[in-house]
């Protein structure tokens, strides 16, 4: 019975290792290599642990008498110096030979991603060195919180932040790299299969750190090109009561809806919010109800966010805004 429980527990634990946000389910060249390294290190660690445990059993049970000084010295020199030096050097060499592959140049699109409090500003078609100011000036094709990348290509992500340090991490595809104010850091994502994955902020950055997520869509090159064109287009649904409410309440001071007078760059670009999967940087599915709730109860849904709650607005206004934003495909 105990054995059955162990098997059930092990299967449950291992199955939790798969999924869209797991380093154990690699969908990128870098994550596959890192997992490979992990298994070698784990295997080595288990062997060394068994060896050391064996020695302690030997010393306490099988041969409990004191060794001669010569034997003791030999044990320390071989087991305590030579053995760790050899093992650690081998591991270092194994890890280092992976580095050139990680550093190989990109052959795919270049996308700028800025860590904001607490969401991700995205610009497709970024230039080589987009400073934060350049990104804010609207260079490239703006989007937010949902990153589309082509499968089989090495996409270069240029990372920045206007104020605090975040860390950009898509566990299934690659390692993590910090976004550092005043600097451009880089990571290359080379996904090996299509699918939807989850990215997260991996560096504590403030109240809503744990709610600073994003969706990663790995698609074919043709689909990627189509998505960038769709993102580039201005909003098409302009004749809507929600647009009037949005503009009358000053939402455009912080948010941009291209094709309208709203051109704020403080918060996420909402031009095609309805075409995204999630809202509030990966925390809620995009539905009319959720958008309305997020507008009215922003600080409740996402504590620490810079946007205030608009709980005092009449519900018919927030409803109209939500319907309009949901319809911006």
Asked if 205 and 251 count as a contact pair (C-beta separation under 8 A), the reply is: no
Measured at the alpha carbon of residue 121, what is the angle toward residues 161 and 149, in degrees to the nearest 5?
A: 115
Of 118 and 246, which CB lies nearer to ligand CUA in the complex structure? 118
Query: What is the rounded CA–CA span in Å between residue 296 and residue 298?
Result: 6
d(CA 146, CA 154): 18
In terms of CB distance, is 115 or 242 closer to ligand CUA? 115
Q: Give the nearer residue to ligand CUA in terms of CB position, either 117 or 319.
A: 117
In the complex, minimum distance from the CB of residue 209 to ligand CUA, in angstroms, rounded to a whole number: 3
Q: Considering the complex, what minimum distance in angstroms separates the CB of residue 163 from ligand CUA?
A: 10
Q: Where does this chain bind ligand CUA (CB under 6 A)?
A: 115, 118, 166, 201, 203-205, 209, 212
Q: Smallest gap, in angstroms, from Cβ of residue 117 to ligand CUA?
A: 7
Burial class (CB in 10 A: 0-12, 13-18, 19+), 4: exposed
* Least distance between ligand CUA and beta carbon 31 (Å): 20
Closer CB to ligand CUA, 268 or 274, in the complex: 268
- The neighbouring-strand residues paired with 142 are 123
Residue entry with tokens 């650690």: 88
Nearest to 113 by CA among 130, 97, 99, 101: 130
DSSP string, 147-174: EEEETTS-EEEEEE-SSS-EEEE-TTT-
The CA R_g of the chain, rounded to the nearest whole Å, is 26
Least distance between ligand CUA and beta carbon 184 (Å): 17
- The sign of the torsion formed by the CA atoms of 244, 245, 246, 247 equals positive
Question: Would you say 284 or 313 has its CB closer to ligand CUA?
Answer: 284
Minimum separation from the CB atom of position 27 to ligand CUA (A): 23
Q: Report the residue number, 166 or 198, with the smaller CB distance to ligand CUA.
A: 166
């Amino acid at each position: 019975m105990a054995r059955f429980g162990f098997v059930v527990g092990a299967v449950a634990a291992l199955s939790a290792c798969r999924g869209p946000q797991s380093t154990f389910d690699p969908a990128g060249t870098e994550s596959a290599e890192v997992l490979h390294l992990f298994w070698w290190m784990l295997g080595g660690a288990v062997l060394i642990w068994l060896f050391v445990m064996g020695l302690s059993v030997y010393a306490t049970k099988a041969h409990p008498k004191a060794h001669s000084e010569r034997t003791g010295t030999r044990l320390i020199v071989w087991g305590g110096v030579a053995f760790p030096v050899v093992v650690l050097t081998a591991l270092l060499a194994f890890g280092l030979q992976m580095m050139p592959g990680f550093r190989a140049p990109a052959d795919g699109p270049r996308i700028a991603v800025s860590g904001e409090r607490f969401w991700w500003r995205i610009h497709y078609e970024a230039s080589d060195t987009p400073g934060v100011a350049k990104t804010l000036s609207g260079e490239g094709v703006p989007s937010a919180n949902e990153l589309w990348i082509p499968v089989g290509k090495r996409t270069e992500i240029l990372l920045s932040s206007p104020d605090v340090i975040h860390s950009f991490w898509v566990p299934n595809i690659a390692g993590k790299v910090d976004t550092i104010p005043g600097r451009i850091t880089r990571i290359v994502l080379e996904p090996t299969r299509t699918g939807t994955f989850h990215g997260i902020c991996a560096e504590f950055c403030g109240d809503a750190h744990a709610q600073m997520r994003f969706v990663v869509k790995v698609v074919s090159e043709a689909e990627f090109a189509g998505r960038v064109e769709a993102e580039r287009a201005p909003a098409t649904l302009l004749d809507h009561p929600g647009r009037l409410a949005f503009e009358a309440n000053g939402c455009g001071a912080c948010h941009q809806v291209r094709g309208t007078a709203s051109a704020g760059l403080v918060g996420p670009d909402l031009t095609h919010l309805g075409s995204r999967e999630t809202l509030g940087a990966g925390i809620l599915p995009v539905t009319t109800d959720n958008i309305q709730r997020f507008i009215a109860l922003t600080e409740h849904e996402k504590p620490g966010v810079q946007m205030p709650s608009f709980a005092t607005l009449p519900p018919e206004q927030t409803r109209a805004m939500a319907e309009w934003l949901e319809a911006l495909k």
